[in-house]
Structure 1
Amino acid sequence: MPAVNEVKDLLLEELEHIVKTSSNLILKISPEHWDFKPHDNMRSLLELVEHLVSVPSSDLLILQENSEPVIRKLEADIAANRDKERLIEWMTAGFNEVKAYMEGLHEEDFLHKKTKPFYLEHGSVQAKWLVEITTHAQHHRAQLFTYLKMQGYAVNMFDLY
C-alpha cells in the first residue's frame, strides 16, 4: 500500500512546515507582548505559544495512552521557560518524536490500530491521530498569526508558506 505511506508522508511534511512557520512567527515576538490577550477569556500570547509548542509532544503522549498527569508535567516543563529558542526546540523535538512514531508504524497499525485518550471513552486509529495533530497545530498557528496581527507585527500570508 504505497498510497498509505504517501498520505502519511504528506501529513508529516505539512506538520513539519507548520512547525517551521510557527517557529518563524515565535521568533518575531517581543517579550513585552507575552501578556497580550485579545479578550479576558482567552490565552495570553505566551500561553498560546506554550500550547502550540506542546502540541506535537502532548498529542503524541495522549495517543500513546499516557495519563493526564504525564501530559500536565510536559506542559509544566514547557511553561517553565520563556526563552523563544528553547520553546522552538521543544516543538521541533516533539515533531521529530511524532515523525519517528508514525514512520515506525506498519501500514496495518497506521490504518487500524486504535488508541484511546484519557479524556474519551472511545479511541481513534493512528492515521486519524496524525490528522488531528496536524490540524491542531495548524489551528493554533492561525491563532498565533492573528494575535501578532492584532499587536501590529508585520506578518502576512508569506509567513505561512
Structure 2
Amino acid sequence: MNTIHILKNELLDELEVGVCSMGGLLRKVQARDWGYRPADNMRNLEELAKHIVAIPEVDLNIWQEKDQATIQKLEAKYDKLESADAMIEAMNNGFQGYKTFMQSLSDEDFLTKKSKPFYLEEGAIQAHWLVEEVSHFFHHRGQFFNYLKQLGYDVNMFDLYV
C-alpha cells in the first residue's frame, strides 16, 4: 500500500475527528456564554468559535496563495455566522473542500509542490501545510475546550474523540 496515501489519510482522518468534536462542543454552548472572555487580551468564546470554524476553508485559500484581501473577505463571511448550527455547517463544508483538495494532490505534488502564503517570505510543501492544518485546528479546539471548562460546562476527554 502507498505510504504517502496512508499518511495523508491518517492526518485527514484526525482533522475530521477535530471537526466532528468541535461541532459537539459548539452545540453545548448556551447563548448567554458567547461573550465570555477569559482575559482582556484574548478572543471571546464567539470570536474563537468563528475563527476555528473558518480554519479549514481559510487555510486552504492561504495555502493556495490567495491574496490578503481575498482571505479577509473570506474571514468576514465567517464573522457573520449567527448560530452554532450555521458555524457547524460552514466548518463541515470548509473541511470537505480542504479534504477534497488534499486528496486530489498527486503524491509528487503532496511531497514537493511548494506554495507561499501572502504573509511569509518562503513557502512550504503541501505535506507541511496538512500538518500545519491539523496543529492549528487542534490548538484552537483545545482553547475552546478550556473556555468551556472555565465556564463550568460538563465537558471531558470523551467530547474530544467522537
- Report the TM-score, using the length of structure 1 for normalisation: 0.98
2:98 — aligned with what?
98
Report what 1:76 is aligned to: 76
Specify the alignment match of 2:54 in structure 1. Answer: 54
2: distance between equivalents of 1:97 and 1:81?
19
* Partners of 1:47 and 1:28 in 2: CA distance: 16
* Number of the residue aligned with 2:38: 38
- Tell me the CA shift for residue 74 of structure 1: 1.1
Asked whether 1:160 is paired with 2:160, we answer: yes
Q: Tell me which moved more, 21-30 or 80-89.
A: 80-89
Structure 2 partner of 1:26: 26
Question: 2:132 maps to which residue?
Answer: 132
Spell out structure 1 runs of 4+ moving beyond 2 A.
none
Identity rate of aligned residues, in percent?
48
* CA positional deviation for 1:42: 0.1
Give me the whole-angstrom Cα distance separating, in 1, the residues matched to 2:58 and 2:147: 23
The aligned residue for residue 2 of structure 2 is 2
Q: How many residues align?
A: 161
Structure 1: tracts of 5 or more residues without a match: none
**2: CA distance between counterparts of 1:81 and 1:115?**
29
TM-score, normalising length: structure 2: 0.98
Partner Cα distance (2:138, 2:119) in 1: 22
Output the CA distance in 2 between the equivalents of 1:106 and 1:29: 40
Say which SS state the counterpart of residue 17 (structure 1) adopts.
Answer: helix
Deviation (angstroms), 1:106: 0.4
**What is the Cα deviation at residue 82 of structure 1?**
1.9
Q: What residue in structure 2 maps to residue 12 of structure 1?
A: 12
* Larger deviation, residues 65-74 vs 111-120: 65-74
- How many Å separate the matches in 2 of 1:116 and 1:45? 31
Per the alignment, residue 111 of structure 1 pairs with 111
Deviation at 1:101, TM superposition (A): 0.3
Aligned mates of 1:142, 1:53 — CA distance in 2: 13
